[in-house]
Amino acid sequence: MDYHIRFAPRAEKELDKLPTKQRTLIFSSLDGLAEDPYVGKKLKGELQGCYSLRVWPYRVVYLVVKKDRTVLIIRIAGRAHVYR
Structural domain count, the chain: 1
Residue 53 included in any domain: yes
Residue 70 included in any domain: yes
CA dihedral over 46, 25, 11, 5, signed as positive or negative: negative
Query: Which of 9, 84, 4, 3 has the alpha carbon at shortest distance from 59?
Result: 84
Q: Is the pLDDT of residue 83 over 80?
A: no
Count Cβ atoms below 10 Å from residue 47 Cβ, excluding itself: 16
Per-residue pLDDT tens digits for 35-69: 999 999 999 999 999 999 999 889 999 999 999 99
CATH number at residue 71: 3.30.2310.20
Residue 84 included in any domain: no
Q: Is the pTM of this model over 0.85?
A: yes
Residue 66 included in any domain: yes
Per-residue pLDDT tens digits for 4-21: 999 999 999 999 999 999
Range of the domain at 18: 4-78
pLDDT in the model for residue 58: 93
